[in-house]
Structure formats: C-alpha cells, structure tokens
Amino acid sequence: MKALVLFSGGLDSTTCLALAVDKYGADEVLALSISYGQKHTKELEAAQRVAEYYHVKLQTLDLALIFADSDCSLLQGSTADIPKTSYAEQLSETDGKPVSTYVPFRNGLFLSSAASVALSHSCEVIYYGAHSDDAAGNAYPDCSSAFNDAMNTAIYLGSGNQLRIEAPFVSKTKADVVAEGMKLGAPYHLTWSCYEGGEKPCGLCGTCRDRAAAFAANHIADPAL
Amino acid sequence: MKALVLFSGGLDSTTCLALAVDKYGADEVLALSISYGQKHTKELEAAQRVAEYYHVKLQTLDLALIFADSDCSLLQGSTADIPKTSYAEQLSETDGKPVSTYVPFRNGLFLSSAASVALSHSCEVIYYGAHSDDAAGNAYPDCSSAFNDAMNTAIYLGSGNQLRIEAPFVSKTKADVVAEGMKLGAPYHLTWSCYEGGEKPCGLCGTCRDRAAAFAANHIADPAL
C-alpha cells in the first residue's frame, strides 16, 4: 500500500479518498475508519458505502474506551446536548476553549493511530481532511494548520523519516473542498455529516450548517438530501 | 487530577512517576499503562505493583489491535526473534532504519492516547520517560528530542493550549535516570524492563544491556536482580 486515508465517511475525508485514489489507484489506498463512541455512528455506515464505491480496502478501529471519561457532547456517554447553533455562536460562550463537540485530542489520536497502521502496511503518506473552517476561532484546535505542521513533523521524525501527512485542505474552506470533490466526481450522495444519529440530517448542528453553506457557495444542491 | 504519567512499569517511567508524585502528590497523579501486544506482558504486572507502592490510580488501555498487521519483533504476533545484541550492533545492520523492536509510531500513539485521557481528567501535563540512549543512532526515533518537541507542540496546540508534555530525561542518559531515581527512592526492585517474558530478565536483549549499564555507571547493583 502507498497511502492511508483517515476516513470518517463525511464530506472532507471522502474528498481526500477521491484525491488519493486518483493519484495512487484504489489498490494502493487503505481507508481507516475509527469508531470512538460518537453519537452519529451513521457515519461509519457511510464510510462502508464510500469505500465500496471506490473498491478500496477499509480497516476499522474501535477507540471508544480512550474517551470513556470524557464529557464531550458528541459522545454517547455524555448527557449534554449537541448545540444547535453555528460554531461562531458557540465560541462566543466558551471563554477561549474549544466547542463542546471537541473530542479531546481526537485528531491527534487518529493521526497517530493512522501512523501506526500505515507503517505496518508500508504506506508513505496519510491523507487527512482537516480544513480551515473547522479551525476558525479555535473551535477545533486539532484542525489547525499549526497543529497539522507539528503532527506532520512528529510523524515524519517519529517514524524514522518513513511517513508524512498530506492535508490538502488545511488552508482551504469547506466550500473549496466541495469544489475539489465535484471536479473529482466524489460520491457525496453516499456521505454522512450530521452529528445527530437521526434518520435524516438535522440541518441545525454545526456540521450540518457548514455542509449546507459549502454546497450553497458552489451553487449546487447537496446530493445526500 | 494534575498530571498523567505514561507508565510501563519499567525503570524510566517509574522514575517519571516518582518525580510526578514528588511534585503533585499521589492524589493528583494518574498513571496510564498500555497493553499493545508486547511479548513482555510482565511489565504490566510491574506497573500494577509500582502504582500500588505509590498509591496512585492506574488506568489501563489495550491498543493491541492497532498493531495487528505489524511485523515488529517485540510483538506477540511476530515470529521474528528479539535481537540479543546491543542497539549499536543492531543499527549496523538496519540500513538507517529503526531497530526491529521499534513498534511503529508507538510513542506517538501512546502520547496521543495519554493526551485524550489526560484532557478527560483535566490534567495539565503528561510525563513521558524517553531518554537519549534510546534515541541514539535513530534506534527508536520516537524517543528523540526533536520528536518530543514536535509532539509537545502538537499536544499543546491540538488541545487548545490546555496540555503539555514533560519529558525530563529526553536529553539525559539512562544512567542519569537511575541517578535521579535513586535520589527520589524510586522502587526499582518492583520494575521490569526485559523484552522477553521469561521468569527472570534475559540479560542479553537491548533493554537488559542498557539497564545493567545504567546501574553499573552509578556503581550500584540492580535491586530487581
């Protein structure tokens, strides 16, 4: 294998998968999907569908026990509700801290797990779909460009210079991600983003709002709706 | 809790635990011990003994599945033997790569897991016992000072500036670690280092050799023998 894609079944990582398959071919790409006790396990079903669409091997990991003591509102163990406002509104009430759906160091843990798995398969690159909208205002500090640079250095050095991160959208917006994915024909109709595990996307949580805005900015309808 | 100690039950992390307990008090320290499919599960029993000695809470995690596809000689799934030579001798045959007992990005994964757990308990610091002997010649690149700096930056930024790494020995030798531990009265008689899971330490693997040399440099007998 050449590339591992950290893969949630959402819009950003599906676009990463499209890029990796385009560059390396499906046989050289491994998708890694991580269960972590999230309320929206529906994204894992979406990951399965998208991986099948691209004929790439999908590996799954369950890391939920690591977050057993977290009170993050995104997790099944939490009694807190997922906020129904935009990230900007949420940040006005967090006193400089991340939003309540920030899962403690989740992306660092995911990238590190991806590095361990990638090295076991001799991959030379990890694709990671963080983008600048999620990092804005430090809503998700583990999506920022500075965080990504540090993790990339850690993974490159800590692997004995064998592995690096490719984060193609880290300085781009979610609207840019959609534009890129449309060019590549990414199967957005198979993806899932909403934080709630309902029958249909709620349309109100932070990620539903961001997804809708990204499609609107590209003047196209969300094919998953 | 104030501090999380990444804790294997070996000599280096026991010295870290001694430092953290000395600074914060046992009630404010959480020890995290990780099972990862290592052949020497005896170190986990040692971790239990040392945690009891210090009356600190010990949390355990099992991350073995992440390394399911690795051929690292330290792991139970590998048929390769653990080398019976010094790291310097091993490195002369690896063509610039890490030694065969390097577990792919293990310390990055452990630090990231520690970060997720630490944030769930409101800890502000992670103690990590890497030292310069293990990093020499890139035997274990995830023990180097440069790797640690990058991980520390990633954890500080990725946590929204809430958490940092304290790696007190990253520029010191294992002999320095022993000298520090002896001052603190660390219970080295309860620790386990050998990579083999035998009744007694083999005395020949890389870590047995390093441990013996560290005690010899301090002109004291290893209290675990």
Say what the pLDDT of residue A141 is: 92
Q: What is the pLDDT of residues A165-182, one digit of tens each?
A: 999 999 999 999 999 999
B103-113: pLDDT as tens digits: 999 999 999 99
Checking if the pLDDT of B119 tops 90, the result is yes
Per-residue pLDDT band for A222 (boundaries 50, 70, 90) equals very high
Least confident of A29-38, B134-143, B205-214: B134-143
**What is the dihedral angle through the alpha carbons of B46, B51, B52, B57, rounded to the nearest 10 degrees?**
-140
Q: Minimal Cα–Cα distance from A63 to chain B, Å?
A: 8
- Predicted confidence band of residue B54 (pLDDT cuts 50, 70, 90): very high
Rounded to whole angstroms, how far apart are CA atoms A87 and A140?
10
Q: Which pLDDT score, from 0 to 100, does residue A79 have?
A: 84
Percent of chain B with pLDDT over 70: 100
Phi and psi (nearest 5°) for A45? -65, -40
| Structure-model confidence comparison of residues A40 and B11, the more confident one | B11
Nearest CA in chain A to B96: A160
Closest CA to B138 of A191, A136, A97, A158: A158
Mean pLDDT across A68-74: 89
For B90, the token pair is 């091993």
Do the Cβ atoms of B105 and A155 come closer than 8 Å?
yes
Kindly tell me if the per-residue pLDDT of B14 is higher than 90: yes
Burial label for B107, CB within 10 Å (0-12, 13-18, 19+), is buried
State the pLDDT at residue B17. Answer: 98
Using a CB-CB cut-off of 8 Å, the residues of chain A touching B68 are: 120
pLDDT digits (tens, 9 = 90+) for A93-112: 888 888 888 999 999 999 99
Q: How many CB pairs under 8 A join A and B?
A: 149
Where is average pLDDT lowest: B11-20, B195-204, B210-219? B195-204
- Which residues have CB under 8 Å from A18's CB, separation 6+? A54, A181, A184, A185, A186
pLDDT tens per residue across span B140-150: 899 999 999 99
pLDDT tier, B40 (very low <50, low <70, confident <90, very high otherwise): confident
Distances (CA, A) of B195 to A202, B50, B73: 52, 18, 10
CA distance A152 to A164: 6
Contacts of A188 (CB under 8 A, 6+ apart): A11, A14, A178, A181, A222, A223, A224
The mean of the pLDDT values for chain A is 93
B188-201: pLDDT as tens digits = 999 999 888 788 89
If pLDDT is split at 50, 70 and 90, which confidence band does B220 have? Answer: very high
Q: How far is A223 from chain B (nearest CA, A)?
A: 32
Distance CA(B202)–CA(B209), nearest Å, equals 9
Do the interacting molecules here have an ipTM over 0.95? no
Using the predicted structure, report yes or no on whether residue A135 has a pLDDT greater than 90.
no
Residues of B in contact with A106 (CB under 8 A): 116
Rounded Cα–Cα distance for residues B64 and B110 (Å): 12
Asked if B66 and A116 come within 8 Å (Cβ–Cβ), the reply is yes
The one-letter amino acid at B195: Y
Q: Per-residue pLDDT for A138 more than 90?
A: no
Report CA dihedral (A128, A129, A133, A135) to the nearest 10 degrees.
Answer: -20
Tokens of B60: 């355990």
What residues in B contact A151, CB-CB < 8 Å?
150, 154, 158
Q: How far is A112 from chain B (nearest CA, A)?
A: 5
pLDDT of residue A21 exceeding 90, the answer is yes
Q: A113 versus B193: which is more confidently predicted?
A: A113
Residue A25 pLDDT > 90: yes
Task: Say if residue B71's pLDDT is above 90.
Answer: no
Chain A nearest-CA residue for B119: A104
Strand partners, B59: B32
| Residue B161 near residue B203 (C-beta atoms within 8 A) | no
B136, pLDDT greater than 90: no
What is the residue-averaged pLDDT of chain B? 93
Which amino acid is located at A34 in the chain? I
A179, A188 contact by CB (below 8 A): no
Q: What distance in Å separates the CA atoms of residue B56 and residue B121, rounded to the nearest whole number?
A: 14
DSSP characters over A88-122: HHHHTTTTTSPPTT--TTHHHHHHHHHHHHHHHTT
Whole-number pLDDT of residue A131? 92
Residue A41 near residue A163 (C-beta atoms within 8 A): no
**For strand B57-62 and strand B164-166, is the pairing parallel, antiparallel, or unpaired?**
unpaired
